[in-house]
A and B are shown apart, each in its own frame.
Chain A
Amino acid sequence: MVTSESRTGGVVLSDLTKSYGEVQAVRGVTISIHPGETLALLGPNGAGKSTTIDMMLGLTRPDSGTVSLFGSSPAAAVQAGVVGGMLQTGSLLGYLSVRELVTMVASLYPHPLNVDEVLRLTGTTEIAERPTTKLSGGQTQRVRMAMALVADPELLVLDEPTAALDVEGRRDFWTAMRAVAARGKTVVFATHYLEEADAFADRIILMARGRIVADGPPTEIKARVGARTIRATLPGVDDTALSSLPGVMKADQRGDAFVLTCSDSASSDTALRALLLHYPQASDIEVRGAGLEEAFLDLTGDDGVESDEAPRP
């Protein structure tokens, strides 16, 4: 039996694997999360984030490996009401108003938050009396968020919580989440957005093709995937000279062109200014952020041969 007091042990996923037929959705994921930690699972489509989350919540049985939530099984933790979550997909139950639905969910938990308070936090007070089936996509998402928050669990698991939310919705959401984290709750969320993970998480785990490819504080992860590249045609210049420009991490020659890699947007700005100052003849300049997917593929060193997907063109 888990109680809200026995938070020792945190969340431990050991060597989880899960396949769906030929597709190896998760291949050996080990994560240990301290109580009170806020963790982002970052990765492109099909990385295995949802599968990992489903196994964490006991919705999906792993092929191998174990999950321990505060020292007990997911089923026992869920039963004790110490876990709450928002799944990636799912619509609301019909024939109820928003307030009724949130009240109904709250009643299932041992120590729920005040329903009115949660409606206010999630910006759903105005739609509280509306039938759950007559909401916009973003409003539905806000109600789903209210259902997760009202449980006030020790571990809150959110699978792409801000999908379908507008700018204001995202802001409201993260404000609410900060309050949750400030009260010492453990929060795990999946996202596609580095900025979101960076702004909110204490720690980011990067997943690609079912594996963890990086695990660390946001600054470290950002340095690895937030990289920008400057591409310029610049005949007759030495790459060592270019790599010594301020802000440049490395310079690669591609025929007459160069690709300069910078750690983030600030350093690419610096590098670009220096480049134009010292090499005004540079032409056909292109600055771009490496897409997450590209960054992941770099990190995994995956050439696509053993991949489940077709090789990229």
Chain B
Amino acid sequence: MKHLTYLRYELLRTIRNRRFLIFSLTFPLILYLTVAGAHKNLSLDGISFPLYYLSGMAAWGSMTAVVSSGARIAQERSVGWTRQLRITPLRTSDYFIAKILSGYLMALFSIVVLALAGSIIGVRLSAVQWLTMLGLLLVGLIPFAILGILVGHLVSVDTLGPVIGGGTSLMALLGGAYGPLATGGVFLAVVKYLPSYWLVQAGKSALGGGNAWPAQAWIVLAVWSIVSARVAARVYRRDTARVQ
């Protein structure tokens, strides 16, 4: 990243965008406090319900943050800002990196606030476990950050809201963010191919031992990342070759 001032202003812009906070933090937080707060003593999927739900809401909120950040490219394209940037020395890769880092900043904020809420409700983890959970979430977000950039090149501004809202909610739902949809059988085998499943599992995996992410988690995340990056690169090239 050559242009740090540019990055700084991108982060500032992200922080100033209130809508971001609503979807990536406010909604998950309210849901977490009401639902997990009401079932403190339940256990789910072999772990305490507040921990499961913490992981689920953090996955949903942070996923929304990184996807929305990349998807904002659609808006910048529609007003001609990307064309203006293309005649400056800013490299396209740096433009994308700034979008990804902005998304991660918001994701981090949402995860930290949810974790605080979790510890208030009664989630007890060691420092190592907290950091492991955070680390797994950040890694699990990689494919979503790339998908956000892809969405930013494919979707028009008018349909951006529904696509992001619907897409992330569906991913979160299937991944079990609102509660596991299945604990076995074909359905579980299928959703294990979704990156969101492993994102939701970050809480449980942080407990360590036999709960750690299996090789499948890493492979699924890597494949989703690589494939979306390939598609995004192709769409980007097609997009700049065509005249806007």
A interface residues, Cβ below 8 angstroms from B: 20, 54, 57-61, 78-81, 83-85, 87, 89-96, 100, 103-105, 107-110, 147, 151
Quick check: B87 and A59 within 8 Å, CB to CB? Answer: yes
Given A89-B80, A91-B81, A95-B13, answer yes or no on A103-B5 (Cβ-Cβ < 8 Å).
Answer: yes
Majority secondary structure, A binding face: loop
Which of B9, B12, B81, B87: most chain A CB closer than 10 A? B87
Quick check: A90 and B83 within 8 Å, CB to CB? Answer: yes
Quick check: B241 and A100 within 8 Å, CB to CB? Answer: no
Q: Does B209 contact A (CB under 8 A)?
A: no
Quick check: B88 and A105 within 8 Å, CB to CB? Answer: yes
B interface residues, Cβ below 8 angstroms from A: 3, 5-6, 9, 12-14, 16-17, 76, 79-81, 83-84, 86-91, 241, 243
Q: A78-B86, A93-B81, A105-B88 are in contact. List 10 more A-B contacts (CB 8 A).
A: A54-B243, A58-B87, A83-B87, A87-B80, A90-B80, A90-B84, A94-B13, A95-B16, A109-B88, A109-B89
Quick check: B89 and A79 within 8 Å, CB to CB? Answer: yes
Q: How far is the CA of A235 from the CA of B14 in the complex (A)?
A: 75
Expressed in whole angstroms, the minimum distance between the Cβ of B87 and any Cβ of chain A is 5
Question: Which of A61, A83, A85, A108 is in CB contact (< 8 Å) with B6?
Answer: A108
Expressed in whole angstroms, the minimum distance between the Cβ of A20 and any Cβ of chain B is 7
Which of B9, B14, B84, B91: most chain A CB closer than 10 A? B84
Question: What residues of A have a CB within 8 angstroms of the CB of B3 in the complex?
Answer: 107-108
Closest-by-CB residue of B relative to A85 is B87
Q: How far is the CA of A151 from the CA of B9 in the complex (A)?
A: 17
Closest-by-CB residue of B relative to A89 is B80
Closest-by-CB residue of A relative to B17 is A95
Question: Which of A87, A90, A96, A103 is in CB contact (< 8 Å) with B13?
Answer: A96
Question: What residues of B have a CB within 8 angstroms of the CB of A105 in the complex?
Answer: 88
Question: What residues of B have a CB within 8 angstroms of the CB of A89 in the complex?
Answer: 80
Given A89-B80, A90-B79, answer yes or no on A104-B9 (Cβ-Cβ < 8 Å).
Answer: yes
Question: What residues of A have a CB within 8 angstroms of the CB of B16 in the complex?
Answer: 95
Question: Which 3 A-B pairs give the minimum distances between C-beta atoms?
Answer: A90-B80, A107-B5, A95-B13
Of the A-B pairs whose beta carbons lie under 8 Å apart in the complex, a sample of 14, sorted by A's number, is A20-B243, A57-B87, A59-B86, A59-B87, A60-B243, A90-B84, A91-B80, A93-B13, A95-B13, A95-B16, A104-B9, A108-B6, A108-B89, A108-B90
Question: What residues of B have a CB within 8 angstroms of the CB of A96 in the complex?
Answer: 9, 12-13
Question: What residues of A have a CB within 8 angstroms of the CB of B79 in the complex?
Answer: 90-91
Quick check: A95 and B89 within 8 Å, CB to CB? Answer: no
Expressed in whole angstroms, the minimum distance between the Cβ of B122 and any Cβ of chain A is 38
Q: How far is the CA of A231 from the CA of B104 in the complex (A)?
A: 71
Expressed in whole angstroms, the minimum distance between the Cβ of A130 and any Cβ of chain B is 14
Q: How far is the CA of A42 from the CA of B14 in the complex (A)?
A: 41
Quick check: B89 and A110 within 8 Å, CB to CB? Answer: yes
Expressed in whole angstroms, the minimum distance between the Cβ of A84 and any Cβ of chain B is 7
Q: How far is the CA of A245 from the CA of B237 in the complex (A)?
A: 63
Question: What residues of B have a CB within 8 angstroms of the CB of A85 in the complex?
Answer: 87
Quick check: A108 and B243 within 8 Å, CB to CB? Answer: no
Closest-by-CB residue of A relative to B88 is A108
Question: What residues of B have a CB within 8 angstroms of the CB of A87 in the complex?
Answer: 80, 83-84, 87
Question: What residues of A have a CB within 8 angstroms of the CB of B88 in the complex?
Answer: 78, 81, 84, 105, 108-109, 151
Expressed in whole angstroms, the minimum distance between the Cβ of B114 and any Cβ of chain A is 25
Given A100-B9, A103-B5, answer yes or no on A81-B89 (Cβ-Cβ < 8 Å).
Answer: yes
Q: How far is the CA of A87 from the CA of B87 in the complex (A)?
A: 9
Expressed in whole angstroms, the minimum distance between the Cβ of A250 and any Cβ of chain B is 43
Question: Which of A80, A90, A93, A104 is in CB contact (< 8 Å) with B89?
Answer: A80
Expressed in whole angstroms, the minimum distance between the Cβ of A148 and any Cβ of chain B is 9
Question: What residues of A have a CB within 8 angstroms of the CB of B13 in the complex?
Answer: 93-96
Q: How far is the CA of A105 from the CA of B243 in the complex (A)?
A: 23
Which of A54, A59, A100: most chain B CB closer than 10 A? A59
Quick check: B83 and A59 within 8 Å, CB to CB? Answer: yes
Expressed in whole angstroms, the minimum distance between the Cβ of A167 and any Cβ of chain B is 26
